[in-house]
Amino acid sequence: MTNSQAGSQFLNREVGQLEFNRRVLAQAEDKSTPLLERLKFLCILSSNLDEFFEVRVAGLKEQIKLDTPGFGPDGMLPRQVFKVVSERTHALVARQYQLLNQEILPGLVDEGIRFLRRMAWNDIQREWIKAYFFRELMPVLTPIGLDISHPFPRVLNKSLNFAVELEGKDAFGRSSGTAIVQAPRVLPRVILLPPEISSSEYNFVFLSSILHAHVGELFSGMSVVGCYQFRATRNSDLFVDEEEVKNLRIALQGELPQRHLGNAVRLEVADNCPPHMSDFLLDQLGLSRDDFYQVEGPVNLVRLMQVPDRIDSPGLKYPPFIPGLPVTLQKKKALDIFQMIRRNDILLHHPFQSFQPVIHFLQQAAADPDVVSIKQTVYRTGTDSLVMAALIAAASSSKEVTVVVELLARFDEEANINWASRLEEVGAHVVYGVVGHKTHAKMAMVVRREEGKLRRYVHLGTGNYHASTARLYTDFGLFTCNEDVCADVNEVFMQLTGLGKAGKLKYLWQSPFSFHSQMLEAIDNEARNAKAGKSARIIAKMNALLEPEIIKALYAASGAGVKIDLIVRGVCALRPGIRGLSENIRVRSIIGRFLEHTRIFYFRRGGTQAVYLSSADWMDRNFFRRIEICFPVLEARLKKRVLTEGLNVYIKDNRQAWEMDGQGNYHLKTGRRGKRLCAQEALLTQLAAAKED
C-alpha cells in the first residue's frame, strides 16, 4: 500500500486534536452557555493547547530535528503535519482572543464584573494597587538584567514573564538595556479589589497590569522604555529509562524538576510587544515565527479559571446539582455496602450519580474488622484524597493493603510519589506496576472473611479514583462480587505485583495480552453475522480512536453491512461515510458541560447483546503499552442502563452533538424538527437527586 493510499484511510492525529479544541471553543461561542461558563471554556481551551504543545507539538519538533524517516498512518511527514498544525492553531487562538475581547469581557461588564486596565484606575484604586505592589509583589520579585555575567535566564515552562527595555546606567555602570522579570507562581494572576474602592461588586485587576504599572520600582535610577509580558511553553515529556534505573521513584524525583526546563516549543507575547523584542525572545528560545503567538490580552488565560469560583452569581453559571444514588443505595443512611453488593451488582453513572459510594466502599473496608485485605490501582487521585486516606487508614489498622501506583501518570507524577511515600510509611505494599507499561486500569478489590470463608468484592471503573473529577467527567463504575469476575481481577493484580505467565481470564479482556485480539474478534464476529443475514450492530463510545487494525476491522464490518455508531469525544483517525469504505459508519462527538470520559463497547452478538466498559481508548498505547481492562456488564437490568444512559441518549442528542464527515470536519447537529435533546441535561434530570439551593 502506498503512503497516499494509507493516508486516504486515516486522518491525522494532531489535526484531529485541534478539531476537538475547535469544538471546545464552540462552547464558549454558544450564547446559550452561561457567561462565566463561556469564560471557563476559553480557559479549558488554553489548558488543552498547553498540553498539546508540551507533548504533541514537542514530539513533532523532535521528529523534525532528528529527521525521522517515514510517514505517519495518515501519509503525512512530520514537517507537513507541523505546518498544518501551526496554521490551524494560530487561527484558533486568534478566534479565542477575539471572542474574549468582543463578547465575553463586554458581557461581564454588563453584569458588573470588570477587569480594570491601568488607564481605568481612579486615584484611590491606584494608591491601593501601589501599596499592594510594595506589600505583596516587590519582596518576591527578582529582576535579571541581561549582560555578559547574566545571560538570558531559562524561564520556567508556562510561567508569566516580562521583558523590560531600559535606558540609563545602573549602580555598577551597566547599561545592557534589557531585563527579565518572572512573576512567581505563588502569586494570583487576578486580584479582586476591595468593595470600598470598587465601582461595582467585582472589580478585578490583572497581576500583569500591577507589575507593568510599577516595574520601574525594580530598576532604581533607570527609565523603563517598554514592558512586555511573555510566556514560553516547553517540552514536558519526562525521559526515564525504566530498564536502566534501579528505583523508578528516585529517578522520577530527580527528573521532575527538569520538566519546567525542556526545550521551548512555543512563545506567546502580548499585543504591545514590538517586532525587535519578539525577535530577540524567539532567538533566545531557539524558536521561529511559526512558533510565535501574539495575543490581544493576557498570555496566561488558564489562570482566569479561578475567577468564576470567586463570583456569587448563579445566573451566570450552570445550575448546581446534587448527584443521585441508585435506588438500592437509597434505602439506609448507614448502609452496609457489602450486603448491597451481595444482593445485586451496582452500577454508578458519574457525575449524575454520586462518587460517594466508592469512597464509602473503601472507608467501610478500612474500618471493618472482617476485611483482611485491600488492593487498588491508582493513576490519578489528586493531592487531597479521601480514597487515599481510606487506604492509609486500612494499612494503619494492620490490614494487608497493596496499592499499584502509576508513577508515570503524566502531570500527576509528583502527587503519586507523595502518596506512595505516605502509604509505605504506614506499612502498605506499594508497587509501581510493570516496566514499559503504564498501569491505567481502574480497579479495587476488597477481601472479607464471611462465615468462615473469604469473599472478594471489586469495584471496576472507566475513570480515575478522583472525587473532584468525578463531578466533572462522565464515567461508569461497577461493584460486583461475581466470583469469576473477582478471580479475573485477582489474576491481574497478581501479574502487577508478582512474576509469572499471564493466566487465562474468563470475563476480562486485558491489555497488553488479550484486549486487542478480542476486540478485533468481536468486530469480526459482527461482520460474519451480517454476512450470514443475522442481526449485527456495533456502538462504541470512547475518547480517541487511532489504532489502525481496529479501524481496518471497522471498515471491513461496514463493508459487510454492519451498522456502526461511534461516539468519539476527541481525535478520530477513521473516515466515516466514505462510499466503498465506511458508508455504514457514523461518527459523532459530544461536547458539553461535562467531559465525556466513558468507554463503552456494545456488540449485538446475534441478539445476546454484549456490553463492555473499559478504562481504555482504541489507541496503540492502550492496547499494547498499558495495563488496561475491559469488563462486561453481566446483569440484564444494568446492561439496559448502560445502553440507555451511556449510548442511546447520546446517539439521539441533537443539541451538543457534532457529526464528522469523511474529511475530518465536524458539523453541529441541531434539532430543527421535533424535540431538541441534550444528553447530559437529560441524564441530570433523570439521575441527579435534586438541584442545590
Out of 212, 349, 437, 440, pick the active-site residue: 440
440 is catalytic: yes
List own/partner pairs for 49-54 with CB under 8 A and 24 or more apart.
Answer: 49/21, 49/89, 49/92, 49/93, 50/158, 50/233, 50/302, 51/411, 52/14, 52/17, 52/18, 52/21, 52/89, 53/233, 53/265, 53/266, 54/157, 54/233, 54/234, 54/235, 54/236, 54/237, 54/265
Sheet holding 202-206, edge to edge: 113-115, 202-206, 190-192
Let me know: does 323 contact 68? Beta carbons within 8 Å.
Answer: no
Q: Is 380 annotated as a binding residue?
A: yes
269 pairs with which residues across the strands? 230, 294
Let me know: does 644 contact 609? Beta carbons within 8 Å.
Answer: no
Burial class (CB within 10 angstroms; exposed 0-12, middle 13-18, buried 19+) of 107? middle
Burial class (CB within 10 angstroms; exposed 0-12, middle 13-18, buried 19+) of 40? buried
378 pairs with which residues across the strands? 405
Q: Is 464 annotated as a binding residue?
A: no
**Other CB atoms within 10 Å distance of the CB of residue 96:** 23
Q: Is 410 annotated as a binding residue?
A: yes
Q: Is 602 annotated as a binding residue?
A: no
Cα–Cα distances (Å) from 620 to 58, 167, 179, 516, 617, in that order, read 19, 56, 46, 9, 9
The three three-digit cell numbers of residue 320, written as one number: 448546581
- Rounded to 10 deg, the angle between the 58-65 and 78-99 helix axes is 150
Query: Strands 453-461 and 442-450, how do they pair?
Result: antiparallel
CA distance 275 to 289: 11
Q: Is 247 annotated as a binding residue?
A: no
Q: Is 473 annotated as a binding residue?
A: yes
The three three-digit cell numbers of residue 626, written as one number: 498499558
Let me know: does 11 contact 82? Beta carbons within 8 Å.
Answer: no
List, as residue ranges, the binding site: 48, 380, 410, 473, 569, 597
Feature table: binding site for ATP? 48, 473, 569, 597
* Residues recognised as catalytic: 440
- Known binding-site residues for Mg(2+) equal 380, 410
